[in-house]
A and B are shown apart, each in its own frame.
Chain A
Amino acid sequence: MKMSSSAKPIEVHDLTVSYQRKPVLYGVDLEIEEGSLVGIIGPNGAGKSTLVKTIMNMIKPNGGFVKIFGQTAKHGISRVGYVPQRESVDWDFPVTVMDVVLMGRYAHLGWLRRAGKADHKIASDCLEQVDMLPFSNRQIGNLSGGQQQRVFLARALAQESAVYLMDEPFAGVDAVTEKAIVSILKGLKERGKTLVVVHHDLSSAKEYFDHLLLLNMRKVAYGPVEEVYTRELLQKTYGGRLTILSEMAFESAGVRAIEKEVLGPKK
């Protein structure tokens, strides 16, 4: 394993998150090795998106911590490229496809500097990779769902991060786009990037990823696909929650202060 230091790209320790007294994640431990292509699967409401958002420091956990390359989530996320769910932004915003992809370069630019020729070149290359270059001057509202997802992917590519977190990149895209995204993910993995992808389709998970995290409020299992993708473990994941654990988690979450999601502009 080629690793400069012992720090893992993503380390999650005893993470507990609840929304308004309702526990969503409970005591999740996770260590992801560099260069893995990880799929997070689990039933609806299993806390898949919550886990990703907590790693991205958008939600404050009630307990436990997240480390990115050994740093706290707050500092580490600058090394993470993030592909949010498509519904999370306002698609009527007056920006073009190119503007959005250039946002992927902002972290490299810092304050005061505008995106230059080199950045435009990188952004064009990323758009080319996702087959969206002909649309670069379109206003983003005039795109189909699959195209919008590709634009988000291109923006993440333009970030040139070491780690990528993607929240349901396959939701509502057509089969062709899904194939295209999968091949891009595999290409990134070949180049040594670490990818964590929330996925809702169990049947395709086996061929898309090399590691799987089975999640249902708690971590059911994590490991290479061939070890984890077993009838028994999947049944455990999708076969309903452990009743006593749910109850106790609910109780203990009620005791703690209500942490609110730190999403969106504070109003």
Chain B
Amino acid sequence: MWGKQIEAINPIDLTERALRFWEMNDHSVRIVALGSALIGLSCALMGSYVVTRRLSLFGDTLSHAVLPGIALGFMWAESKNNVSLMIGASIAGFLGISCISFLGRFTKISQDSALGIVLSGFYAVGICMLTRIQKMDYGSQAGLDSYLFGQVSALSTNDLIGIILALGAIIFFLSVCYKELLVTGFDPNFARSIRLPVNLIQYLLWMLLAFCVISSLQVIGVILASALLIIPAATASLLAKRMTSYLLIASLFGAAAGVGGAFLSFFGERLPTGPLIVLVSITFFLLVLFFRPKNGMFSGFIKSKGQSRRFAMENTLKAIYQVMESSEFKSSTIQKLELMNRRGISSGYCQKELNQLVRFGFATTSLEAKSQNNLPRELLVSLTPKGWEQACKTVRNHRLWELYLTNEARYAPDHVHEDAEKIEHVLGEDTVRKLERILSNPKKDPHGKLIPSLVDIQKGWLGTSELEKENYIL
């Protein structure tokens, strides 16, 4: 078999081994890759329906519940006959489903408890039977433990045919009943009201789920089968807004995880395939979770980083404006010291903020021409036209909002500053126009300070003489 071949040519160059997998000249490699991919595909398709119906644990229960059936099928045929295993597993799966719905219908036990009971009960029976079989004459070499953890290298052509049949049945059912599945999943009560056989559809779905799980056991094993149902579908749920794209994305990730896992288990020696497929699948999930275009954690992080940087710069610009305002805009430059005092921050921190402003073209800095009283020369800051505009806008937003809160929303004047500190950064031009209209183009804020108008913003700074303004513009 294939597993032995590897040992024979051991030790082997890793790249050569990788090449051997991807060239797929080996018959066994082809079977393994194809089988894993198809299983990933069919599990992802079924899993999409399991996950959107919030029945994730159900798939887990079903995959565990088929174990005694496999053992029974084996005892019956006294060999690893695929047909008898399939029949046994189907019966056990059906029994498991019946137990769950019986518990739900006739007892007060909640569904998750019912699932837990059936899962562990069937699994325990299955393990007992398997252990017993291992000790029988015909059972010692059956390799039934591969059903627990999956062993892709033992995949036979017969197994592959089973996988293809299950996948065919799944695709057929999903495409024929697409809209019925959609409506029974989204709103079962409505589906009943248009006289759809909701329970029948549900049972068919479960039977198919059982086939899907059974056909994939050889590759992935009983314990991890549910992972292949849930993870690709959960990945799709992060990206898709319609069922069609959901199915497509899930099956892509499922198939990719299958091939990836098979490759890794071929590549690394003596690594079990099932767990590797699950790990690849989880890696995909995490990648999507972090890097998906909208609402991804990574893009969200970048966005909030950029936003807090903008807020910080606007706050510095506002402080510069206020310093200039306190000297009635007599000078176009301020000292760094004044800014530090205004903001109540250290010299180093202030320098950082100023560097940021300079880098974005909001301000320029220069050293004093001559030091006063033999002190070190002071750093002077002046705003560029772009910086001036942004400073005016931020101050205007702040004061407009304060005025709006006191005049229209009837807040006390001493309650409005903190709120305005946040709102000033997010007011859009449209909202500003609206506020101005509502407040009939106000000149002063509630604290009696002038609100910079559009004219001020365009002209240059307030209070400076015409000459200076002209110089500035030049």
- Please name all residues of chain B whose beta carbon is closer than 8 Å to the beta carbon of A61 when the two chains form the complex: none
The residue of chain A having its C-beta at the shortest distance from the C-beta of B185 within the complex is A93
Query: A265 on the interface (CB 8 Å rule)?
Result: yes
**In the complex, are the beta carbons of A95 and B186 less than 8 A apart?**
yes
Q: Mark A123-155, 1 if CB is under 8 A from B, else 0.
A: 000000000000000110000000000000001
Chain A-chain B contacts (Cβ-Cβ < 8 Å), number: 99
**In the complex, are the beta carbons of B194 and A106 less than 8 A apart?**
yes
- 23 example contacts (A-B, Cβ-Cβ < 8 A) are as follows A58-B192, A77-B193, A78-B193, A84-B187, A84-B190, A89-B187, A90-B52, A90-B186, A92-B237, A94-B242, A95-B243, A96-B242, A99-B182, A103-B183, A106-B183, A111-B180, A112-B176, A139-B241, A263-B189, A265-B198, A266-B104, A266-B202, A267-B100
Quote the shortest CB–CB distance from B127 to chain A (angstroms): 25
- Please name all residues of chain A whose beta carbon is closer than 8 Å to the beta carbon of B54 when the two chains form the complex: 90
Partner of A94, one of B104, B179, B190, B243: B243
- Please name all residues of chain B whose beta carbon is closer than 8 Å to the beta carbon of A89 when the two chains form the complex: 186-187
Query: A198 on the interface (CB 8 Å rule)?
Result: no
**In the complex, are the beta carbons of A115 and B187 less than 8 A apart?**
no
Known A57-B193, A96-B241, A99-B243; 14 more pairs at CB < 8 Å: A58-B193, A75-B195, A80-B193, A82-B190, A88-B187, A93-B52, A95-B242, A103-B186, A111-B180, A139-B242, A265-B188, A266-B199, A267-B104, A267-B114
Query: B111 on the interface (CB 8 Å rule)?
Result: yes
- Please name all residues of chain A whose beta carbon is closer than 8 Å to the beta carbon of B416 when the two chains form the complex: none
In the assembled complex, the Cα of A89 lies from the Cα of B190 at a distance in Å of 10
Supposing A94-B52, A94-B237, A267-B101 touch, asked if A103 and B189 sit within 8 A by C-beta, the answer is: no
Most buried by A among B104, B183, B184: B183
The residue of chain A having its C-beta at the shortest distance from the C-beta of B188 within the complex is A265
Query: A264 on the interface (CB 8 Å rule)?
Result: yes
The 4 closest A-B pairs by CB, nearest first: A139-B241, A107-B194, A94-B246, A82-B193
In the assembled complex, the Cα of A95 lies from the Cα of B185 at a distance in Å of 11
Quote the shortest CB–CB distance from A126 to chain B (angstroms): 15
**In the complex, are the beta carbons of B189 and A88 less than 8 A apart?**
yes
Query: A121 on the interface (CB 8 Å rule)?
Result: no
Q: Mark B65-104, 1 if CB is under 8 A from A, else 0.
A: 0000000000000000000000000000000000011001
Query: B105 on the interface (CB 8 Å rule)?
Result: yes
Partner of A265, one of B178, B182, B202, B240: B202
The residue of chain B having its C-beta at the shortest distance from the C-beta of A77 within the complex is B193
- Please name all residues of chain A whose beta carbon is closer than 8 Å to the beta carbon of B195 when the two chains form the complex: 75, 77-78, 107
Quote the shortest CB–CB distance from B462 to chain A (angstroms): 44
**In the complex, are the beta carbons of B241 and A94 less than 8 A apart?**
yes
The residue of chain A having its C-beta at the shortest distance from the C-beta of B240 within the complex is A94
Query: B53 on the interface (CB 8 Å rule)?
Result: yes
- Please name all residues of chain B whose beta carbon is closer than 8 Å to the beta carbon of A58 when the two chains form the complex: 189, 192-193
Quote the shortest CB–CB distance from A149 to chain B (angstroms): 14
In the assembled complex, the Cα of A159 lies from the Cα of B191 at a distance in Å of 12
What is the total number of residues of chain B having a CB less than 8 Å from a CB of chain A?
Answer: 39
In the assembled complex, the Cα of A3 lies from the Cα of B193 at a distance in Å of 25
Quote the shortest CB–CB distance from B209 to chain A (angstroms): 13
In the assembled complex, the Cα of A99 lies from the Cα of B193 at a distance in Å of 18
Quote the shortest CB–CB distance from A97 to chain B (angstroms): 10
For window 288-326 of B, CB contacts with A under 8 Å fall at none
The residue of chain A having its C-beta at the shortest distance from the C-beta of B101 within the complex is A266
For window 236-267 of A, CB contacts with B under 8 Å fall at 260, 263-267
Supposing A94-B240, A95-B242 touch, asked if A56 and B189 sit within 8 A by C-beta, the answer is: yes
In the assembled complex, the Cα of A77 lies from the Cα of B193 at a distance in Å of 6
- Please name all residues of chain B whose beta carbon is closer than 8 Å to the beta carbon of A57 when the two chains form the complex: 192-193
Query: A173 on the interface (CB 8 Å rule)?
Result: no
Q: Mark B174-218, 1 if CB is under 8 A from A, else 0.
A: 001011101111111110111110110010000000000000000
Query: A100 on the interface (CB 8 Å rule)?
Result: yes
Query: A114 on the interface (CB 8 Å rule)?
Result: yes
Q: Mark B407-419, 1 if CB is under 8 A from A, else 0.
A: 0000000000000
In the assembled complex, the Cα of A103 lies from the Cα of B187 at a distance in Å of 10
In the assembled complex, the Cα of A77 lies from the Cα of B196 at a distance in Å of 11
- Please name all residues of chain A whose beta carbon is closer than 8 Å to the beta carbon of B101 when the two chains form the complex: 266-267
The residue of chain A having its C-beta at the shortest distance from the C-beta of B196 within the complex is A106
Most buried by B among A57, A84, A155, A266: A266
- Please name all residues of chain A whose beta carbon is closer than 8 Å to the beta carbon of B237 when the two chains form the complex: 92, 94
- Please name all residues of chain A whose beta carbon is closer than 8 Å to the beta carbon of B193 when the two chains form the complex: 56-58, 77-78, 80, 82
The residue of chain B having its C-beta at the shortest distance from the C-beta of A57 within the complex is B192
- Please name all residues of chain B whose beta carbon is closer than 8 Å to the beta carbon of A138 when the two chains form the complex: 241
**In the complex, are the beta carbons of A115 and B179 less than 8 A apart?**
yes
Quote the shortest CB–CB distance from B108 to chain A (angstroms): 9
In the assembled complex, the Cα of A82 lies from the Cα of B192 at a distance in Å of 11
In the assembled complex, the Cα of A58 lies from the Cα of B195 at a distance in Å of 11
**In the complex, are the beta carbons of B199 and A78 less than 8 A apart?**
no
- Please name all residues of chain A whose beta carbon is closer than 8 Å to the beta carbon of B55 when the two chains form the complex: 267
Partner of B105, one of A77, A93, A266: A266
In the assembled complex, the Cα of A64 lies from the Cα of B183 at a distance in Å of 30
Quote the shortest CB–CB distance from A167 to chain B (angstroms): 10
Most buried by B among A56, A82, A111, A267: A267
In the assembled complex, the Cα of A88 lies from the Cα of B187 at a distance in Å of 8
In the assembled complex, the Cα of A225 lies from the Cα of B178 at a distance in Å of 45
- Please name all residues of chain A whose beta carbon is closer than 8 Å to the beta carbon of B178 when the two chains form the complex: 114
**In the complex, are the beta carbons of A95 and B182 less than 8 A apart?**
yes
In the assembled complex, the Cα of A72 lies from the Cα of B401 at a distance in Å of 63
- Please name all residues of chain B whose beta carbon is closer than 8 Å to the beta carbon of A80 when the two chains form the complex: 193
In the assembled complex, the Cα of A232 lies from the Cα of B183 at a distance in Å of 45
- Please name all residues of chain B whose beta carbon is closer than 8 Å to the beta carbon of A77 when the two chains form the complex: 192-195
Partner of A103, one of B52, B104, B182, B241: B182
- Please name all residues of chain A whose beta carbon is closer than 8 Å to the beta carbon of B53 when the two chains form the complex: 265
In the assembled complex, the Cα of A228 lies from the Cα of B255 at a distance in Å of 65
**In the complex, are the beta carbons of B194 and A78 less than 8 A apart?**
yes
In the assembled complex, the Cα of A80 lies from the Cα of B195 at a distance in Å of 11
- Please name all residues of chain B whose beta carbon is closer than 8 Å to the beta carbon of A267 when the two chains form the complex: 55, 58, 100-101, 104, 111, 114
In the assembled complex, the Cα of A99 lies from the Cα of B240 at a distance in Å of 14
Quote the shortest CB–CB distance from B192 to chain A (angstroms): 7
The residue of chain A having its C-beta at the shortest distance from the C-beta of B183 within the complex is A103
- Please name all residues of chain B whose beta carbon is closer than 8 Å to the beta carbon of A103 when the two chains form the complex: 179, 182-183, 186-187, 190
